[in-house]
Structure formats: structure tokens, C-alpha cells
Amino acid sequence: MTDQLTAATDGHPALDLGDFSALTFDCYGTLIDWERGIVAALRPWTAAHRVEAGDEELLAAFGRAESRREAAQPTAPYPEILAGVLGDLATELGAAASREEAAAFGASVKDWPAFPDSAEALAYLQRHYRLVIVSNVDRASFRHSNAKLGVTFDAVVTADDAGAYKPAPNHFQLALAQLAEQGVAREQVLHVAQSLYHDHVPAKRLGLKTIWVNRRADRAEGGGATPAAAPVTPDGEVPTMAALADLHRQQRSR
């Protein structure tokens, strides 16, 4: 089971987690259950406007709209991106969205829940690694999420800092520069993320090792709120953060 989870699909040897001294994390989709949060935030709007759309349809439409807006408005604050996304969803689904509804959706990140295993896994991993966030949200929104995760990260890079949204490389370049100042070389950094599109593609282009937290492994086909990615092969895969922490325990005990 362990080898199956940690081995890359191209036949390369399994990752040795002991080779790394820092973990960089995507937050939303990896540590915070953004899909559950997105759907919960959209349901008052769909009910008010009698929009008939299933969860997967809403998430796919969200992913298309969010990626378009982030590419077109790389310096816009994330609440503004979300507010615009609701307008785009309204257009696509033949409904209306008021300014108040858009603002409420823009502010909804604070309500998005953490995955049940995130806080415990992070607390364990922090005993062995420097932990860094590279997130597409704004700092104000992330502070609410950070409170749910229960750890103090060694560095936090948000879209505010990067002046761009992933999959642009800005987040990773800033995080690597900050880690270098702390004495951590690039080859000692492992990127941990759910999104192939936002994270694994740019991280691999920068030469980072990556591990895929495949939170949708047991879900319906499709990428949910994450757009389809260019072909990319992560260096390892686990289904949850708890599984990543367990892998570390197992490898240390050998």
C-alpha cells in the first residue's frame, strides 16, 4: 500500500520523504475543503433564483469562470475575483446575481471548512519540516482559514504577495526565495497539492518534486472546481493529508 501510494506513475522509485526539509502547500482543495465551501456558499443563490444545477455542474462552471478571471485580472483581490465569478455563473446558468449576492460570495472564503484531517496532519508534519503556504487567495481570507488549520506556517505567499494567480510561477518563486533565506535549497522542497492545474504543472516546470493529494480519488469523474491540466506526472500520490503523515511515520520506522 505504501509503495503504491508514493510511487510515481512513470515507474520512478517511491519518494523518500526524508530527503526534504520543507513542504510547500496549496491550501484550498488540499487543506481547506473549498468544493464543499463553494457549494454551500452558492446554494442560497441557486435557491433564490431557482437555478437547477447539481453540485458537480456548479463546481465545473466555477472552475472555468475562476480560471478565466484570474488570468484576465492577475492583480485583482480574490474577493473581487469570486464576486465576478458569481456574475459569470449567473450568465452561464441563465439567472441574475445582485451586487449583494456577489459581495457575499466574495466574502465566503472565511466559511469554507478545513478537511477533517488537515490540522492533525499539519501538527505532526511541523515537527519534521518547515511548512509554507502558496495560495491563490488574499491574506485577509487566508487568516480565517489559518485559524482552522491550527499551525503557524514558516512562510505564507498569497496572490496579494505574488501579484498573480497560479498557475503563474510567481508564488513558487517567492516561496523558494524565502526558503533560500532560511537555508533551504530547492532540492529540499516538496510541493504538496491537490490541483494538477494550479500547482503540479508550474511546480514541476520549476524543477520541484511534488506529491498529489488526490482528494477526489473516490469522487465522480471530472475535476470539480479545478480545470483540466496539461499532462503532468507528480512524483507521488496520497488520498489525504492523514495518509501523507502516515507515510512519513512508516518511512521513519524502517
Whose grid coordinates read 478565466?
68
73 dihedral zone (left: phi>0; alpha: psi -120 to 50; beta): beta
| High-pLDDT (> 70) share of the chain, % | 94
Mean pLDDT of 42-60: 96
Band of residue 223 on the pLDDT scale cut at 50, 70, 90: confident
- Three-state SS for 28? strand
Whole-number pLDDT of residue 221: 67
- Identify the three-state secondary structure at position 25: strand
Q: Which residues are catalytic?
A: 26
What whole-number distance in Å separates Cα of residue 82 and Cα of residue 84?
Answer: 5
Chain segment 17-33, per-residue pLDDT in tens: 999 999 999 999 999 99
Share of the chain above pLDDT 90, in %: 88
What is the model's pLDDT at position 213?
A: 97
**pLDDT given for residue 86 in this prediction:** 98
- Give the residue-averaged pLDDT of 53-70: 96
Whether the pLDDT of residue 159 is over 50: the answer is yes
pLDDT value of residue 132: 98
| 220 pLDDT tier (thresholds 50, 70, 90) | low
What local confidence, expressed as pLDDT, does residue 89 receive?
Answer: 98
Q: How many CB atoms lie within 10 A of CB 71?
A: 12
Question: Taking all residues of the chain, what is their mean pLDDT, rounded to a whole number?
Answer: 93
Helix, strand, coil abundance in the chain, percent, nearest 5:
50, 10, 40
pLDDT reported for residue 11? 43
Element (H, E) at 22: strand 22-25
Q: Does residue 12 surpass a pLDDT of 60?
A: no
pLDDT of residue 2: 38
